[in-house]
Amino acid sequence: MTTAITASFAPTDLDNTGDELLREPVLVTGPATYQAVTDQVCRVTEAPRAPRAWYVAMAISLALLLLFGVLITYAIFTGVGVWGNNSPVFWGFPIINFVFWVGIAHAGTFISAILLLFRQKWRTGINRFAEATTVFAVVCAGIFPAIHVGRPWFAYWLLPYPNIMGDWPNFFSPLLWDACAVGTYATVSILFWYTGMVPDLATLRDRATGRIKPAVYGLLSLGWRGSARQWHLYERANIILAVLATALVLGVSSTVSTDMAVSQIPAWHETIFPPYFTAGAIYSGFAIVLALAIPARELFGLKDLITKRHLDNLAKLALLLGSMVLYIYLIEFVIAWYSGDPYERFAYLNYEFGPYWWLGWGILFCNGVVAQAFWFKFARQTWWIAWPVAVLCVMGMWMERFVIIIVSMHRSFLPSSWHMFVPTWIDIGTLAGSFGLFFTLFLLFCRYCPMVAVSEVKAILPQAQTRDALANERH
């Protein structure tokens, strides 16, 4: 079926969030046949023209991407001084953006790996594009540490590679751990995402018409024929990658947090940082998946596959993680007071009452207060509440990284060295540009890749529940 999205295919948008005892919840609404699922997903890529909104979004994203490229080139040719970094705020926007994007990446992995291991069936509707956000966010995250160094042309010295001089990096340095963690994460995420996509790419290949599409999808689907042996190996690979990815969900942000926790700066030198960063990361990831899922299901008519139940679940997880983050905020204040260390105490007072007080209160509001709206079902299910809440959470998490990195550094030990940090327009442009990169990749993905995991969704249709499968599920 290669027709455009037509009115005859009206998604239903049913409320399937109710839980009834002893009954599997309905996870696919509308005409739940195998054919219908395939059609719904494939017609997005097969439509000759994308919706007009896609072109508008793409134009904006490409403009931002161009800005990103230009500003990075300028920074590399001129020096990192084009940003607002100074002494004592040696790390500025690039590191904030790095930590932020790594955090964004976490939700996808959490959904596709941890929920897979926990056999949460509802994840099938959203896992594919959640994984896509992971991959694209990691791409954005990976750029920043490389351009942030003073001599980016030597950024590869961060990596432990054999060389004729026998120079190895310093294995004590958290930045090296970072490079390894993010590198591993990027590799596993891409593998996991791509492996999962192979059967669906084969479906697209089989349905493709013309000359180019079959060739491209044919190449991408790696000769998938759907044999039992292939399915067997595919499932095994998925499980192995899921286990690896699960470790990474917990490991990567913990590693990133050691950049701060291993140092001596007051409000950085804390053992709570690994769980703190992981909770914050997954939280921000859920928020952005929610913020993307809401328009995506509207835009591409996927309401039957990404149902209200999915949004509901995402919002609940965001609430859980947001509450954890709020708890950690509060416990940090308590510990700072309890430590008796005047520098530590001052650092936390400075968060809320120093010159950046509005950011200190801003994160408490965005991450602590706003997410609590998701206690209410109405808020979880109404897009015009859920979407702004999700966006505020994402903004709050970016601000949190600003507070942790910049507000801690701008007043550390010696008061003579205190100095304010003011971002330049290049800082802000580069941040905006990274969103351009992310959305460009995401929009391309939406248009040309199977946005929903067709084969996995089919497996949770009622008619797929064979006795074996049911037995398997009830383990």
Binding status of residue 313 toward other proteins by CB under 8 A: no
Q: DSSP state, 267?
A: T
| Cα angle for residues 214, 220, 223 (degrees, 5° grid) | 85
Residue 155 or residue 391: which is nearer to other proteins going by CB?
A: 155
Binding status of residue 350 toward other proteins by CB under 8 A: yes
Residues near other proteins (CB under 8 A), total = 60
Residue 158 or residue 452: which is nearer to other proteins going by CB?
A: 158
Smallest gap, in angstroms, from Cβ of residue 422 to other proteins?
A: 8
Binding status of residue 324 toward other proteins by CB under 8 A: no
Residue 338's contacts (CB-CB under 8 Å, 6 or more residues apart) are: none
Smallest gap, in angstroms, from Cβ of residue 262 to other proteins?
A: 7
Q: Which of 128, 303, 411, 458 is the binder for other proteins (CB under 8 A)? A: 411
Smallest gap, in angstroms, from Cβ of residue 165 to other proteins?
A: 10
Q: DSSP state, 24?
A: P
Binding status of residue 97 toward other proteins by CB under 8 A: no
User: Do residues 408 and 266 touch, judged by C-beta distance below 8 A?
Assistant: yes
Smallest gap, in angstroms, from Cβ of residue 174 to other proteins?
A: 7
| Distance from C-alpha of 171 to C-alpha of 179, rounded to nearest angstrom | 11
Helices (H) and strands (E) in the chain, counts: 18, 0
The runs of H, that is alpha helices, within 174-307 are 174-207, 212-220, 228-261, 273-299
Q: Which of 29, 61, 246, 412 is the binder for other proteins (CB under 8 A)? A: 412
- Contact positions with other proteins (CB under 8 A) in 260-289: 262-265
Residue 205 or residue 411: which is nearer to other proteins going by CB?
A: 411
Binding status of residue 80 toward other proteins by CB under 8 A: yes
Smallest gap, in angstroms, from Cβ of residue 333 to other proteins?
A: 15
Q: Which of 416, 463, 468, 475 is the binder for other proteins (CB under 8 A)? A: 416
Please write down the HEC assignment for all residues of 104-169.
Answer: HHHHHHHHHHHHHHCCCHHHHHCHHHHHHHHHHHHHHHHHHHHHHCCCHHHHHHHCCCCCCCCCCC
Q: Which stretch binds other proteins (CB under 8 A): 35-43, 78-86, 331-339, 389-397?
A: 78-86
Smallest gap, in angstroms, from Cβ of residue 416 to other proteins?
A: 4
| Distance from C-alpha of 394 to C-alpha of 390, rounded to nearest angstrom | 6
| Distance from C-alpha of 475 to C-alpha of 471, rounded to nearest angstrom | 7
Q: Which stretch binds other proteins (CB under 8 A): 15-23, 49-57, 146-154, 194-202?
A: 146-154
Given phi > 0 = left and psi -120 to 50 = alpha, else beta, which region is 62?
A: alpha
User: Do residues 144 and 98 touch, judged by C-beta distance below 8 A?
Assistant: yes
Residue 236 or residue 419: which is nearer to other proteins going by CB?
A: 419
Binding status of residue 158 toward other proteins by CB under 8 A: yes
Which positions lie near other proteins, rule CB under 8 A? 74, 77-82, 84-91, 148-152, 154-155, 157-158, 167-170, 172-176, 179, 259, 262-265, 341-343, 346, 349-350, 353-355, 409, 411-420, 422
